[in-house]
Amino acid sequence: MLYWLVRKLIKAIRGSRKAKERSDQFLTELAYKEFALRERLKEITCLYEIGSNMKSEFSIQEICQIVLNI
């Protein structure tokens, strides 16, 4: 009976370790994807600003300066 209980505990501990490893991996991937999405949002915002400024009467140099200030 004691042997059975010890085996169950060992199995449970191994299972929890694997679950923690998977959780850590998931969180790492999620953080990377969040970073990539934030970078993409910056790119899209920049392109939107360029497009909207090109419709105005700004010169190319003024548009470039505006983009650098974003």
Q: What is the pLDDT of residues 16-61, one digit of tens each?
A: 989 999 999 999 999 999 999 999 999 998 888 888 877 777 787 8
pLDDT at residue 40, as a whole number: 96
Sign for the CA dihedral angle at 52, 54, 59, 61 comes to positive
Instruction: Give residue 63's pLDDT band: very low, low, confident or very high (50, 70, 90).
Output: confident
In the predicted structure, residue 69 carries a pLDDT above the cut 70? yes
With b for 16 or more beta-carbon neighbours within 10 A and e for fewer, the 22-49 pattern comes to eeeeeeeeeeeeeeeeeeeeeeeeeeee
Q: How far is the C-alpha of 57 from the C-alpha of 29, rounded, in Å?
A: 44
pLDDT at residue 24, as a whole number: 93
Single pTM value for the model: 0.60
In the predicted structure, residue 70 carries a pLDDT above the cut 70? no
